[in-house]
Structure 1
């Protein structure tokens, strides 16, 4: 029933946007609407969802059985490696009415490969970005989605708790990362949400640093940013620890970030724009004199993907609605010295916001 409701809402949004056809490639949106997961590869797979009528699916012939298992009334257009995909795209276009369509495409996901085949088959269709209408479908999570995110968070927090006693000064960032990955799977994760970040010292001054063979030294701040996938949904958790004892300024910076995180979470309530949460967290850091050292947005939505709307940043005026799930992750990064980030996942409720992450936020020495 849930998927049928999603399709009904999709067609309403397509009518609202004047979209005749939605083209999806393998990824979160296709999974959300159909339950199907395909690997993205050199063989194109495109689902064509018309505003009216049955959808079409262009796919390699060896994927047909998988598609038939989904409760979707597909018109399937398979192709073999020997044939190539062009004829299947033309057949699908003919079945959907041929030329002149307005097609909404995933601008962040569709490759030139798929678009060139669509453009030829539909004879120069008019492309539109699909992200606005898909965001309206996916931003508000249902109870089952939130439950899956809770399970992903529980697995991540259990992994972090298991892993921390293994970390010590002198361990390299990569070795610590390998051990964290093992802990994630030991905690029951289906997969990793993204490549974990475990960095310390000057590397922690880079918000998206890559773990290296650098040994982590005494007194350094260590940022740990990771997440796991459970039942298709992700978690995203960041905590910062100190290897030994922090110097006074580092301890002060940590407290500023912790207060900013608390202010961002406290600001969450239905009816306010997403940018208001960013303002609340950023104000704390700016008042402490570290505004220039907070270079990124305060947070991002998450669900099937690690980054999705809404975005907690100046300019995003999306009104918060019960069921929206996003991160609150302020940080301070001092070039060449280190950084601090504290990240929680929050769901908007009828009266405010609930932090789905519960791992302690007090500074912990390892």
Structure 2
């Protein structure tokens, strides 16, 4: 039995916390020239109110945060009791609609007829089109495009939750390298890894990629029945949620002794990951992190085999803005949290990826993962 460290939960976010988030959201919308924001079930609603309803597509739930009025949320009547229990409910005016009535007509009463609103990226098209049908002079833009910083800068409590998730992922990694790899399927090792994430406090496991041998050359390989063999490079990419915030870690191990080439490729990726980390500091554009890592790989002659962006934001979900990718000119600010995960993928042979979660601090960057980047030998 593997013993886990204490998983005591942090204090929950308070009504005051959600009030401050709603206030900042309204100010951000006003600064963007909007009349407000419309938030449907998903991470934005959870962030602003603490409410996470079951996402039933045919019934609309919508939070309206106007720039010049109090926030209001409309919910199906049968779900109103749950909405009223959310931590942010005391500062949101809650109304409801009943089955058989027109929910879009009810929603329209909360909006300005010719208003311009940012809408959650997760909003269902059927609901947005229904609302637009009632307010044909209204217009809408993507939340990410209009308000990219809404959830991007984490406060100290959020960073602490992300750090706890990262530490739990590190613990899981240190234990998984003790298990037997050779002669077992990717699916079996992935199940062990998922179990370890849960033992170390994850309430939700989102993915456990085990890419062995040639499968490691597919960055998003789906685990399968392939039997791991002696001599395989194995990419381990795993993450989920602890205390409501995400982990996402990648390490690449080797079954038995690696070749000189395999060690060389692994070392190039390790140096690329370090270069990306060293580029992190306030005021730098997101794309510069990608450029720093990519330059190391390109200079080593493997530029054509690094086939994805170098990183993505993380928070209430394991993938969210900002993105560390060429063309993204968003400036880094203290409190932003994101992955740095360069890789080299040699088709039909093997792949290597190393990933940490990093947060921006005034003096540069701070890793939220502490497990070794060295190639670990498994058996």
Task: Please report the TM-score for the alignment, with normalisation by the length of structure 1.
Answer: 0.93
Aligned residues: 360
Distance 1:116 1:188 in 2: 41
**Alignment CA distance shift 1:208-1:311 (3 Å):** same
2:17 match:
2
Unaligned runs of 5+ in 1: none
Q: Matches of residues 346-361 of structure 1 in structure 2 within 5 Å?
A: 346-361=358-373
1:104 match:
118
Distance 1:289 1:305 in 2: 34
Counterpart check, 1:76 vs 2:94:
yes
Q: CA deviation at 1:329?
A: 0.6
Q: Matches of residues 298-313 of structure 1 in structure 2 within 5 Å?
A: 298-313=310-325
1:325 match:
337
Which whole-Å deviations, capped at 9, do the CAs of 1:272-320 have from their partners, x for residues lacking one?
2111111111111111100000011111111112222221111112222
Which residue of 289, 309, 314 corresponds with 2:301? 289
Q: CA deviation at 1:124?
A: 4.9
1:176 match:
189
Which whole-Å deviations, capped at 9, do the CAs of 1:184-217 have from their partners, x for residues lacking one?
111111112x222111111100011100111111
1:231 match:
243
Distance 1:167 1:79 in 2: 56
1:143 match:
156
2:215 match:
203
Distance 1:358 1:195 in 2: 20
Q: CA deviation at 1:95?
A: 4.5
1:216 match:
228
1:340 match:
352
- Are the counterparts in 1 of residues 32 and 147 from structure 2 also a CA contact under 8 Å? no
Counterpart check, 1:160 vs 2:173:
yes
8-17 or 351-360, which deviates more: 8-17
Q: Matches of residues 15-30 of structure 1 in structure 2 within 5 Å?
A: 15-30=30-45
Distance 2:179 2:230 in 1: 15
Which whole-Å deviations, capped at 9, do the CAs of 1:106-158 have from their partners, x for residues lacking one?
2x311222112212333452112221344212221110010000111111111
**Partner SS, residue 253 of structure 1:** helix
- Are the counterparts in 2 of residues 153 and 228 from structure 1 also a CA contact under 8 Å? no
1:276 match:
288
**Partner SS, residue 195 of structure 1:** strand
Distance 1:308 1:332 in 2: 23
- Are the counterparts in 2 of residues 327 and 343 from structure 1 also a CA contact under 8 Å? yes
Distance 2:274 2:97 in 1: 54
**Partner SS, residue 328 of structure 2:** coil
Task: Please report the TM-score for the alignment, with normalisation by the length of structure 2.
Answer: 0.90
- Are the counterparts in 2 of residues 58 and 89 from structure 1 also a CA contact under 8 Å? no
162-171 or 199-208, which deviates more: 162-171
Distance 1:309 1:168 in 2: 35
176-185 or 60-69, which deviates more: 60-69
Counterpart check, 1:11 vs 2:26:
yes
- Are the counterparts in 1 of residues 41 and 123 from structure 2 also a CA contact under 8 Å? no
**Partner SS, residue 376 of structure 2:** coil
Which whole-Å deviations, capped at 9, do the CAs of 1:32-88 have from their partners, x for residues lacking one?
1111111212333222222222333232222111211233343433344xx24x523
1:48 match:
64
Distance 1:294 1:60 in 2: 47
Q: CA deviation at 1:3?
A: 2.2
**Partner SS, residue 316 of structure 1:** coil
Which whole-Å deviations, capped at 9, do the CAs of 1:207-263 have from their partners, x for residues lacking one?
111001111111111111111212211011000000112122111100110111111
